[in-house]
Amino acid sequence: MSLLRRPGALVSTLLILLMGAAFFTQVVPYGQIIDSRRQVADAKAQLADLEAENAALQADVEALETPGEIEKLAREKLGYVRPGETAFVVLDPPGTTDEPVEPQSSPDVEEDDKTWVDRLWEFLSGADLG
């Protein structure tokens, strides 16, 4: 009852309580806003990285669509030659490497699971002999 007799104390107590409530209601959302801004910044950085990677991959796709690049890859990866050209395969002499050469075999792949392309490649490369 002493607060009712002194209106200044009641007003100051209510003012302090209101200011405290206003402070706490602003602190929590402010922290969430800061966290949201950090997440947006991280997402923008990730987006920029993905866009750069996408641009590089798109450049690779465009390069692969040119006849020159297709021919280059066919020559490098598959050993193709044009009619009239002679292909040479240079092999290291046996025993020149420090590490023992193990024949490349894939025990996980059974003969029935191989496609005709794999069998053809093995025939052409000589992998079916060993």
Express each pLDDT in 6-58 by its tens digit.
Answer: 778 888 888 998 888 887 777 667 778 888 999 999 999 999 999 999 999 99
Dihedral over Cα of 74, 75, 80, 83: its sign: positive
> Whole-prediction pTM value?
0.41
120: tokens are 């053809």
90: tokens are 């240079």
Could you state, in order of their start, the residue ranges of all structural domains in the chain? Answer: 2-90
